[in-house]
Amino acid sequence: MDAAGQAREQKKQELLQELAELMVEEQIEEGVFLNTPHYSMIERTAVTLGRRLSCEVQQRAAREVAANSPAACPCPTCGTSCDVHVDQRQVRSVDGPVELTESVAYCPECRRCFFPSAIGHGTG
């Protein structure tokens, strides 16, 4: 791992520790530790935070994919060059709802939309 990669890894670790601290602070305020909590309660809070993080990462990664889309793309059916625009839609990921940003193209010849990012990836 290069220096930039190590710095990123360290930053991620610091942010994860900070998130863990914030979660425990919140639980202290809620009185969770006034008595010894059942471990499942601690685990459930941790999993909930993990799922929120997962949804954030998915949304951010989808925006990156959309940002890297070309302005125009050939229709996979007829080859007509079609303008690509960015659209948003809500999807349910395994970790919860995600607001997906994705590039979409409409072919006026075939009168159908297609997803340029899915071409050649076996999805969509």
Choice between 62 and 75, CB closer to Zn ion: 75
Choice between 22 and 72, CB closer to Zn ion: 72
Fill in the per-residue mask, 24 to 53: x = in contact with Zn ion (CB under 5 A), - = not in contact: ------------------------------
Range in contact with Zn ion (rule: CB under 5 A) among 2-10, 11-19, 47-55, 75-83: 75-83
Choice between 89 and 112, CB closer to Zn ion: 112
- Report the distance separating Cα 17 and Cα 30, nearest Å: 20
Radius of gyration of the chain measured on its C-alpha atoms:
21
Parallel, antiparallel or unpaired: strands 72-74 and 112-114: unpaired
Instruction: Give the H/E segment covering residue 82.
Output: strand 81-93
Least Å distance between CB 83 and Zn ion?
A: 13
Q: 52, 91 in Cβ contact below 8 A?
A: no
How many CA atoms, within 13 angstroms, populate the side-chain half-sphere of residue 112? 10
Range in contact with Zn ion (rule: CB under 5 A) among 6-14, 33-41, 50-58, 105-113: 105-113
Interface pick for Zn ion out of 66, 75, 84, 100 (rule CB under 5 A): 75
- Report the distance separating Cα 87 and Cα 103, nearest Å: 6
> Residue numbers of the site for Zn ion (CB under 5 A)?
75, 77-78, 80, 107, 109-110
